[in-house]
Each structure stands twice: as C-alpha cells, then as structure tokens.
Amino acid sequence: MSSRYTTTIGLEIHAELNTQSKMWCGCKNDPYEEKPNANVCEVCMAHPGTLPVPNKEAIRKVIQVGLALGSKIADFTEFDRKNYFYPDIPKGYQISQYLYPIVSGGAINGIAITRVHLEEDTASSSHDNEGYTLVNYNRAGVPLMELVTEPVIHSAEEAGAFARELQRILRYVGASEANMEMGQMRVEANISVSKDKTFGTKCEVKNLNSFKSVEDAIRFEVERHIALIEEGGKVVQETRGWDEVKQETFSQRKKENAHDYRYFPDPDLPKMYLHEVFDIEAMRKEIPELASSRAKRLTVDYALKSDIVEIIVNDRGTAEYFDTLVSGKDSAYANLVANYLVVDVFGLLKKEGKALVAENFPSHTAFSTLLAMISANELSSRGAKDLLPFMLADKSLDVKKTAEKKGLIQTNDTEALKKIVTDVIAESAKQVADYKSGKESMFMYFVGQCMKKSKGAGNPQLFQELLKDALA
Ligand code: ADP
Ligand code: MG
Ligand code: ZN
C-alpha cells in the first residue's frame, strides 16, 4: 500500500552559534549558565530606546558554514523584523532575514539547500510552575542560524543522515557545538506524501531533540498521512509536536503564513555588503577538509575499515591528530595507529571518564615512539598496551626509558628464549604427549607458558618458531 506513495521531506534546522557574546548586545552567550536571567541587559530585554549592534563574529560563522556547504555567499544582505507576540520574544518581533539571506544554495549528500540565514534565539519558557510560566532571558538574543532545505528528501534515513552530516560540518568549522540534547541544534521536519507528481499537503514536526526522534517522527507522520488518505480523509496543514514517550506526533497549531509575520527590513540595523566587510576568498581557503572528504581519503589511502574511519573523522581534532601521525606512512602502520587509538586509547579514556578529544590523547612524539618500538619488535602488543596509561598520564613521558624501567622491552635474544622453550617443554610432559598425539590446540598453551616465564618480555613470534622446531 505505502509503496504507491512518494514521501517528500524538507528540513528546517536551527543552530545556536558559539560566539562569545549575543547577537545584538555584549551579554555573554553561555548555554551552560544555570542561573536564570544572569546574562541579560536592556538590549536583549528590549527596553524602550535601546538599539541593536550586529555581532560580526556571528555573521562570519554563517559565512563559514555557507562556504563549507558550497553555497553562494550574498553580496548584499539585510535583517528583517518578523512580528509575533509571545513572552519569549520581548521586542514583539524577532530579528531575522527574509528576502536577502547571507547564504543561499549548496548541498549536503546531494540534498539541495535553499538558504542559511541569521536570526536571534528566543528566551526559554518553562510552563510547569503551578499555573505560571517562567521566562529565562539568558537565551534571548543568542545568535541563531537557520538552514532550510529544498523539499527533495525522500526517506527518514536520508533526513537523519543530512542532519548528522550538518552537525559534523557545524562542529568542523567551529560555528556551533550543535548538541541536539542541549537544544543547540534543533530540527524541524516538513513531511508530505503523494500518489502523483504534485506535492501533498505538508505537516511540520517540531521538538525533535535527537537524530532518532527525527527519523521516528518522520516515519510516524508518513504512516499517519497515508492512513488518513486511504480512509478517504485529508491531511491538514499544521504544526505538530513529537511525543517522545508515546512515540507519536500531536497537533499543536494550524500553520501561520509568511504574511502573518509582516516582515519588513529592520530600520535600526545597517544593510550590509558582505564582500566589503569580509575577505570571502581568504575565508574560503581557511575552511578545513571536511569529515566526508577525509573519510574517503583515509579509506582510499590506507584501506581502513569504514567504522573505524567514521570514528576518526567524526571529530576534527581526532582526524587532524590521526592525519599528523600517519602522514607519509603505509597502510599497515595507519591501521595499527587506528587500532591503538580507537580501541586502546579510547578505552582507557572512557574508563577514566575523560572526553575522547585530541587534548587527552598521548603526545604525537610518544605515540610515534611507541609505534616505532612495536615495528622494531622491541615491544609486544601487550607491552604497548601496558605503556599507554603512562603515556596518557604524562604527556612528556620518555616512552623508551619507561618501557625499560617497567621491564616491558621485548626480548629478541634467541639464545635466552631457547632456554625458556626448553624449560617449558621439560615441565610439560603430559601436554607435549597430548600435542604429539594430535591435539594441535596445545601449541598455544606452550606459547602462553613461554610468555609467562619471560614475564611478557619474549617476542611471541620468536617463541612460536622456536617451539615449532623444538616440538618437531
Ligand atoms: P512555509 O512557507 O510553509 O514555511 P516553505 O516553502 O518556506 O514553507 O518551506 C518550508 C520547508 O518545508 C522547506 O524545508 C521546504 O523544503 C519544505 N516543504 C515545502 N513544501 C513541502 C511539501 N509539500 N512536502 C514536504 N516538505 C515541504
Ligand atoms: Mg518556514
Ligand atoms: Zn544583552
């Protein structure tokens, strides 16, 4: 039944920009401030007679986002007033952009972006206070960008992937922390279904505070629309909320139209010719290589597994850390680094409750030394794992000296190892008999015994060779 329908989705995504100060005043932009109304002033509280001054850093960040998305950066741009009356918007209008957004065009994963504009966030209201609504103005006037896509997305998964990729890009260019749970990135999904080439009536779903909710809400809405149409009913254009507990959408309000907002250019703010204020071409050159392109490069150059690549490129600092370590090295080396980083270093950091960020990784020098010692057979993988905690605790650790001090240097001294092999065989008469009567799995027991006798210092490869000779 549902296969006869085409699903159409367009996303509107807001992200709080991580500037030092708010959009129109000098108040601190701090999403972590817990004291209500701590970061407020006459401007963001909309006292009469106050005037806004645009935050240049916020405009710069939106341009950076546009450059990363391959969009067109406007020459001319201006701010507009979007009029509506609600306690969370103290001026009685929100300063936004209407006809001349800073950014237009561009794409993520082939999905066309309509525009990215700059506006201000609202205050946050809390309603569950015995009949009162409390309003906290810390967030009022925080720079907020809004990205709008064309209605060209056709599945929940595609929409989720778009939002995840946008989050990575925002973090890569340093425009926003884009944490969905914190409300730093907020996704609204417009959804419609149709049996022919014309668009069906859309509903907009809000309050989606995780990527999973985005996908779940879209799937729910698609099914709801199809069921409605199949019963002979009609979809009503409206704004809906997402109930995380019930896993369903619910009607919030019938959608207002653009003319209800009576947009007009804000006379208190200057019109801007961006190319006169910013060196856009210089900014373009400063855009870092993005995660998706890094992932492709690392896969091609080093044949790394895709799940490991995704973990490495997900965070820009980690990706750059990794790139520095493996640049000019071969695939075997890169795979070794990737494994020690993603499995062992990450494992240790998680155990210590530390963030998985480059500042907490071992120094490049220490890591390179460790790998050189492994390649030279001076260190077993066991020894390497034992050294890592010391490397994390002390960034300037002398890895080689520590390995010596802790007795972790691997012995490649064939004569010494031969002696151990002889001893182990002499002490394991029964196991040797078993082995010789065909129980080949016994072999690893002997290797284990040898490693134990050498206190982990013997080279396991060498032990294996020597054991094979001795047992032949
Ligand atoms: P509105 O004026 O109602 O806000 P817009 O044209 O500004 O509508 O589009 C808002 C969002 O809705 C955009 O992301 C757009 O891609 C999406 N959209 C528009 N029409 C549809 C549709 N029929 N089905 C799904 N999404 C749509
Ligand atoms: Mg809209
Ligand atoms: Zn202020």
Q: Whose CA is nearest to atom 9 of ligand 1?
A: 10
- Give the helix, strand, coil percentages of the chain, each rounded to 5: 45, 20, 35
| Ligand approaching nearest to the C-alpha of 237 | 1
Average pLDDT score, the chain? 94
| Ligand approaching nearest to the C-alpha of 52 | 3
Are the C-beta atoms of 191 and 203 separated by less than 8 Å? Answer: yes
Tell me the CB-side half-sphere exposure of residue 79, using CA atoms within 13 A. Answer: 24
Å from CA of 9 to ligand 2 middle: 13
Å from CA of 154 to ligand 2 middle: 19
Helix spans in 280-398 (H): 280-286, 291-302, 306-314, 316-326, 331-339, 346-351, 364-375, 381-393
Give the helix/strand (H/E) hosting 82.
strand 80-83
Show the ligand 1 pocket: residues with CB < 6 angstroms: 8-12, 148-151, 190-192, 199, 202, 255, 258
Least confident window among 36-45, 131-140, 174-183, 454-463:
454-463
**What integer pLDDT is reported at residue 131 of this predicted model?**
86
**What integer pLDDT is reported at residue 3 of this predicted model?**
66
Are the C-beta atoms of 388 and 340 separated by less than 8 Å? Answer: yes
Please write the tens of the pLDDT for every residue from 90-103: 999 999 999 999 99
Å from CA of 320 to ligand 2 middle: 37
Q: Whose CA is nearest to atom 24 of ligand 1?
A: 192
Are the C-beta atoms of 411 and 459 separated by less than 8 Å? Answer: yes
Are the C-beta atoms of 388 and 414 separated by less than 8 Å? Answer: no
| Ligand approaching nearest to the C-alpha of 199 | 1
Q: Which two tokens mark 297? A: 């490069």
Å from CA of 256 to ligand 2 middle: 9
**Percent of the chain topping pLDDT 90:** 85
Find the helix packing angle between 364-375 and 331-339, rounded to 10°: 120
User: Could you tell me the residue ranges of all domains in the chain?
Assistant: 6-283, 289-405, 414-471
Residue 113 to residue 62: CA distance in whole angstroms: 14
User: Is the pLDDT confidence value at 162 over 90?
Assistant: yes
Please write the tens of the pLDDT for every residue from 399-433: 999 988 887 887 777 888 899 999 999 999 999 99
Cα angle for residues 411, 415, 418 (degrees, 5° grid) = 90
Å from CA of 13 to ligand 1 middle: 12
**What integer pLDDT is reported at residue 405 of this predicted model?**
87
Task: Provide the 3-class DSSP secondary structure of residue 309.
Answer: helix
**Residue 229: pLDDT band with limits 50, 70, 90:** very high
> Which residue has 């425009």 as its token pair?
175
Are the C-beta atoms of 122 and 140 separated by less than 8 Å? Answer: yes
Tell me the CB-side half-sphere exposure of residue 124, using CA atoms within 13 A. Answer: 15
- Out of 9, 147, 202, give the residue to mutate to test ligand 1, the one with the largest number of ligand atoms within 8 Å of its CB: 202
Which ligand 1 atom minimizes the distance to the CA of 192?
24
Å from CA of 62 to ligand 3 middle: 21
**What integer pLDDT is reported at residue 404 of this predicted model?**
86
Of 376, 448, 462, 368, whose CA–CA distance to 413 is shortest?
462
Please write the tens of the pLDDT for every residue from 109-139: 999 999 999 999 999 999 877 888 899 999 9
Which ligand 1 atom minimizes the distance to the CA of 255?
3
Please write the tens of the pLDDT for every residue from 14-57: 999 999 999 999 999 999 999 999 999 999 999 999 999 999 99
End-to-end CA distance of the chain: 69
The stretch 68-87 carries a mean pLDDT of 96
Give the helix/strand (H/E) hosting 207.
strand 203-208
What is the CATH code of the structural domain delimited by 414-471? 1.10.10.410
User: What is the DSSP secondary-structure string of 1-40?
Assistant: -GGGSEEEEEEEEEEE---SB-SSSS-B--TT--STT-S-
Please write the tens of the pLDDT for every residue from 330-355: 999 999 999 999 999 999 999 999 99
**Is 66 or 441 the better-scoring residue by pLDDT?**
66
Name residues whose C-beta falls within 8 Å of residue 313's C-beta, 6 or more positions apart in sequence. Answer: 291, 292, 294, 295, 298, 319
CA distances in angstroms from 383 to 338, 402, 405, 457, 458, listed in the order given: 17, 11, 12, 8, 10
Strand-pairing partners, residue 243, are 248
> Which residue has 């996704």 as its token pair?
187
Please write the tens of the pLDDT for every residue from 265-288: 999 999 999 999 999 999 999 999
Å from CA of 192 to ligand 1 middle: 9
Q: Which two tokens mark 442? A: 């016994």
**What integer pLDDT is reported at residue 77 of this predicted model?**
98
Residue 204 to residue 9: CA distance in whole angstroms: 10
Which ligand 1 atom minimizes the distance to the CA of 149?
14
Which ligand 1 atom minimizes the distance to the CA of 148?
14
**Which residues hold their Cβ within 5 A of ligand 3, which is an ion?**
25, 27, 41, 43-44
Residue 27 to residue 94: CA distance in whole angstroms: 17
Total-model pTM: 0.88
User: Is the pLDDT confidence value at 456 over 80?
Assistant: no
Å from CA of 306 to ligand 2 middle: 37
Which ligand 1 atom minimizes the distance to the CA of 200?
23
